[in-house]
Structure 1
Amino acid sequence: MITQKEVSDAVCSIYKQAAIVLPDDIKNALKEAYDKEDSDIARLNIKSILRNLELAEENEIPMCQDTGLPIVFVRLGNVEVENLEQGIVDGVMLATESVPLRTNVVDPLTRMNTGNNIGKGIPQINVELTDEPVLELTVFPKGFGSENNNKLAMLLPGEGVDGIKKFFEESILSAGGKPCPPTVIGVGIGGSSDMVMKLAKKALLRPVDERNGDERLAVLEDELLGIANDTGIGPMGLGGKTTVLGVNVELADTHTAGLPVGICVQCWAARHATCTLKDE
């Protein structure tokens, strides 16, 4: 059996990793962007981000003061787990104290802070079932400077791919410099209104240098990346070639009468970390 303590210790550990160490694919994308930029201001902004990442790792402190809303993706297989939900909750509280993390969770109406990053429905836990004999946990701390720029559109079927591209461009222009670009963009297509936003968020877990296995979507990812960077918004919204580091698209089938599209914006601090536990 995988014990509650094993789950809580694992969540705490990967939360610390996510808060402090940016995944290599994002680091490499930032370095490539720095080399491509010919604007002094753009290069200065990216250089500052890269230096910030070095300092975070050297001092073992979070890379950003907004340590995000705690979101956990779970792949649950054929294993026996003790109190999975409470283990995740305990892990978030442990991380809040030990990293430490800023306490971000509040009642949406009173704005009363819970003080421990736990609240009603929080951490947000997304469970996907699998036949594999494993429990996979992914911590995805989502900052709200970027989350506040997410968009949902219930397009008509006739708007097709051109409609998706138009909505995407409008979303990037609307966000401007607010989500601390260069950003990473997750795009969901299909499903229902709630499902498409989850698809968009889940898309952000895929490395930016890994294209979708569906050739149609791989082509669309490259096209959308070009659209975003052609805006010239640039790092921190001060102009440049790099507004977006990568665009990842995920798709689900949908109803014959609809074309849901979700845009999930992630700032340069595209943080997430994963671990796998086995019932041994």
Structure 2
Amino acid sequence: MDTFEIITKEDVARAVYEAIPRIACELPADVHAALEAARAAEGPTRGAFVLDQLIENARIAAADRVPLCQDTGTVWVCLEAGPDVLVPGDVFAEVDAAVARAYDEARLRKSVVRDALFDRANTGDNTPAFTDVYFVERPGARVHVMLKGGGSDNASRVVMLAPGAGREGVVNEIMDCVRAKAANACPPLVIGIGVGSTFDKVAHLAKSALLRPVGERSCDPRAAAFEREMLEMVNATGMGPGALGGRALALDVHVETAPCHIAALPLAINMGCSAMRRATIELTATAREGGNR
């Protein structure tokens, strides 16, 4: 008999409900450490004052259990399930109720409208959440929760480059986006870059890149080298924290790549602001026995 695990809608909803108040008020440890390191390296710039304020803001938010930022974001929930995990079709059925409850109890700002084009009335409970499920080779299951503010997403970009643009075209597009939009995304930033896949999937690559801890390089040495290069180029702009001048416009740049069509070069740039609110929760699934496969 084969043993498999089941992830239920209750498992996912519970993880989301418990994560939201925490990540709204607490910077991830890696982001906090990166801000501290950036401050130590900054020197006498106006950006140093910005970093001091961000570090103090994080201290107050955690101590007083108040949001790191008034824009408490939309909720992105991404479930990853391994090869021995069964995921029922209704696995996200209780997520919206969990989001509504968490935002109400934690007194977080509700920022979702009913329809982007036809009805921009506020839904009143920050739902719906935006959900994805992906099946991966890694055993077990985990749920990623991110609260994404409007400013950082508005500073992001998806573009379909001509394949002939190549590496140089990708670099030029990233730097054009940084120069045009980074100041509006509340730097210092974590910048997620996705290259490849398709028009609808490349943005997921960029957003998923933001889940990786600051300072953790890609397991692909080519991508890791590109990350280091782009981080150096971004910070060489001198825009600095708060775009007021200094060294650290970005705390890190993370890159995820994928195959694509021979006639395409999809590129997505997803800005993550200084309040990089995310968490990954390992789920404990219910083990069951099934028939031989």
TM-score with structure 2 setting the length: 0.90
Change (3 A) 1:225 1:131: closer
1:261 is matched with: 267
- Letter of the structure 1 residue corresponding to residue 99 of structure 2: V
SS in 1 for 2:46: helix
Q: Within 5 A, what are the aligned runs for 1:96-115?
A: 96-106=103-113, 107-109=115-117, 110-115=119-124
- Give the structure 2 partner of residue 199 of structure 1: 205
What letter matches 1:167 in structure 2? E
Letter in 2 for 1:177: A
State the SS of the aligned residue for 1:84.
Answer: coil
In the TM superposition, what are the counterparts of 1:1-280 in structure 2 within 5 Å?
Answer: 3-77=8-82, 78-79=85-86, 83-106=90-113, 107-109=115-117, 110-118=119-127, 122-130=128-136, 134-277=140-283, 278-280=285-287
Where do 4+ consecutive residues of structure 1 move more than 6 Å? none
Deviates more, 1:127-136 or 1:24-33: 127-136
Using a 3 Å threshold, how does the CA distance of structure 1 residues 254 and 52 change in structure 2: closer, same or farther?
Answer: same
CA distance in 1, matches of 2:123, 2:167: 43
The answer as to whether partners of 1:200 and 1:263 remain within 8 angstroms in 2 is yes
Q: Secondary structure at the match of 1:140?
A: strand
Give the Cα–Cα distance (whole angstroms) in 2 for the partners of residues 105 and 255 of structure 1: 34
* SS of match in other structure, 1:97: helix
SS at match of 1:226: helix
**Cα distance, 1:60–1:102 mapped onto 2, change above 3 Å:** same
Identity %: 36
* C-alpha displacement of 1:176: 3.8
Partners of 1:133 and 1:212 in 2: CA distance? 20
Q: How far does the alpha carbon of each residue in 1:234-256 deviate from its partner, in whole angstroms, 9 at most, with x for none?
A: 11111111101100000110011
**In structure 2, the residue corresponding to 1:262 is in which secondary structure?**
strand
Shift of 1:133: 6.1
Instruction: Please state how far the C-alpha of 1:7 moved relative to its aligned partner.
Output: 3.1
In structure 2, runs of 5+ residues without a counterpart are 1-5, 288-293
Q: Does the Cα contact within 8 Å between 1:80 and 1:279 map onto a contact in 2?
A: no
**Shift in Å, 1:82:** 8.8
- How many residue pairs match? The answer is 277
Q: CA deviation at 1:17?
A: 1.8
Quote the offset at 1:4 in angstroms.
4.0
**TM-score, structure 1 length as denominator?**
0.94
More strand by proportion, 1 or 2? 2
Counterparts of 1:26 and 1:88, CA distance in 2: 26
The CA deviation at 1:79 is: 3.6
Distance in 2 between residues matched to 1:158 and 1:130, nearest whole Å = 32
Tell me how large the CA RMSD over aligned residues is: 1.7
